[in-house]
Amino acid sequence: MPTEVVATPRAEQQIAGLDRIHAKAFGDCLDDLAARGCKALGYRLSGPAPVDHMCVKHLRDSFRVVVAFEDAAGPGYCWSAATTTRIRS
Amino acid sequence: MPGDYYGPARGKLPLAGSEKKPHTRKRDRRRGDAMTIAVEERRLRSLFERVEAVEDVARTLAEDDERRAKLLAVSDSALAEEGTVRPVIAARLLGLSEKTVRAWAAADVLAVARSSPRLLLDVRSVHAVSHLVSELRAAGQDRDLLDQVWRRLTNAALLDRDDLRESLGQMRRGEGRVLRPLPPDTT
């Protein structure tokens, strides 16, 4: 599902601090996320809301992207944190 | 003279204490090790049970209740006092093979307290992982146990991160900049 990806200000700080290799991995992940939505992510966290609206994708080393969906059902917004972006589909 | 009873070793004079058969020493030592492992396992199992009893009581209290924090601190210090545990004991406590326990230590799922001259694991870490393993087994999720335990541990640490909480707050306030817009035909 095509998805819009939006970075939070905290995410922008983290993205700006990535080295070339990690920035490339992150960029590829965003492209995949924009094209395929949730299917581009690895697994969903379990727990009470908002935890159950969050998915994780491990990229390189210990570097991972966490995406939090505003609305788990149907199209809506989702965000990633740790390296943080928001996504709308 | 002991040699009179057993008969002297061929071509050698009987030595003091030679009435003991050498192979029984090794067997005795093995039996001794097994006893030590069983005793140590029983002692740690009992410690875990006491700690869990205290934790259960603590969890009945409100999160901002001082008594809850005190009880949890007591159970934590009881584990900290114990300090370290051998992989063979950790394996028995977790219901895993020693090889698996060593692999989990190498993967940082179990905290290593000391790696030389022999591997010793942090008791608190073994206790925390024992909770997760029990939960996963109770839920019938025995497959890929390492991956699942690792995920749960890293996720728990993730949710404690300030940057994640800050980002979630920004998400709720609608703050953000578009990095990848929706294709025009989907809007």
Give the SS3 label for residue B66: helix
B141–A contact, CB cutoff 8 A: no
Closest chain A CA to residue B151: A45
Give B56→chain A minimum CA distance, Å.
20
pTM (two decimals): 0.53
- Pair of tokens at residue B137: 């087994």
Q: Which ranges in chain B belong to alpha helices (H)?
A: 2-6, 22-59, 66-82, 87-94, 98-106, 123-138, 145-159, 162-172
Give A-chain residues touching B161 at CB under 8 angstroms: 82
Regions in chain B scoring below 70 on pLDDT: 1-35, 150, 154-157, 185-187
Between chain A and chain B, how many beta carbons pairs sit less than 8 Å apart? 82
Contacts of B153 in chain A (CB under 8 A): none
Smallest CA–CA separation between B166 and chain A, in Å? 7
Cα B167 to Cα B31: distance, rounded to the nearest angstrom: 57
Q: What is the pLDDT of residue B146?
A: 74
Say if residue B149 is exposed, middle or buried (CB neighbours under 10 Å; 0-12, 13-18, 19+): buried
- A83 to chain B, minimum CA–CA distance in Å? 9
pLDDT, residue B34, reads 67
Please give the structure tokens belonging to residue B82: 């114990």
Q: Which residues contact B30 (CB under 8 A, 6 or more apart)?
A: none
Q: What is the pLDDT of residue A73?
A: 41
Residue A87 sits at the vertex; the CA angle it makes with A39 and A14, to the nearest 5 degrees, is 105
Question: Has residue A74 got a pLDDT over 60?
Answer: no
Structural contact between residues B45 and B90, judged by C-beta atoms closer than 8 angstroms: no
ipTM above 0.85, yes or no: no
pLDDT greater at residue B57 or residue A66: B57
In a mutational test of the A interface, the residue from B154, B167, B175 whose CB has the highest number of chain A CBs within 10 Å is: B167
Q: Is A18 on the interface with B (CB under 8 A)?
A: no
> How close does chain B come to A74, measured CA to CA in Å?
15
What does residue B124 show for φ and ψ, rounded to 5 degrees?
Answer: -65, -40
pLDDT digits (tens, 9 = 90+) for A18-62: 889 988 988 999 899 888 887 888 877 766 666 777 788 877 766
Contacting residues for B48 by C-beta, under 8 A, at least 6 apart: B93, B127, B130
Across the interface, which of B155, B158, B167 has its CB nearest the CB of A10? B167
Residue indicated by tokens 């989907």: B186
Which of B 40-59 lie inside 8 A of A, CB atoms?
Answer: none
Q: Which of A70, A11, A88 is nearest to B167 (CA)?
A: A11
Q: Are A79 and B171 within 8 A, CB to CB? A: yes
**Of B102, B100, B89, residue with least CA distance to B48:** B89
Pairing state between β A63-69 and A54-60: antiparallel
Q: Which two tokens stand for residue B44?
A: 């740690």
Q: Does B167 touch chain A (CB under 8 A)?
A: yes
